[in-house]
Amino acid sequence: MTLILGTIGEKKVVNYLLQDGFTIIEQNYRVREGEIDIIAQKKELLIFVEVKTRATPTYALSEVITRSKQKKIIFTAKHFLVTHHYKNHVYRFDVALVEGSDLTINYITNAFSENPW
């Protein structure tokens, strides 16, 4: 059930990004050290999106996307940038929380950065 809910949430976020003018480059990009749910592009901007879907919100965002998880996403994003020749693109890390029975998207632009300080 959790996998199905997660897939539905990711599809909803993909549609949200497409409506905002983004092109989806990759979904569920994996390397040994981590995974990125959605990689999208609009002009020279790349976004790396972590999607969290849950029927009932039980944790704060800081508990859902821990610093450890952020580091894995950042490492994976850097791997993608180098191996796919996007080194000169501007990029950011967004988080999409898909919550509730109506699966409302709470989209957080630039939710975290490489340097938290």
DSSP H or E run through 12: helix 2-19
What pLDDT is attached to residue 88?
80
User: Does 117 reside within a domain?
Assistant: no
The whole-angstrom separation of Cα 40 and Cα 80 is 12
* Torsion angles phi and psi, residue 64, rounded to 5: -80, -45
Report the number of distinct structural domains present in the chain: 1
Sequence-distant (6+) residues with CB within 8 A of 63 are: none
User: Does 81 reside within a domain?
Assistant: yes
Query: What domain range includes position 72?
Result: 2-112
Local confidence pLDDT in tens for the 117 residues of the chain: 566 777 888 999 999 999 999 999 999 999 998 999 999 999 989 999 999 988 776 666 556 788 899 999 999 999 999 999 887 889 999 999 988 788 889 999 999 998 755
CATH number, domain with residue 27? 3.40.1350.10
What pLDDT is attached to residue 62?
57
Q: 28 in helix, strand or coil?
A: strand
What pLDDT is attached to residue 59?
65
Strands (E), 17-116: 23-31, 34-42, 45-54, 90-99, 104-112
Residue 111: closest CA among 73, 59, 78, 85: 73
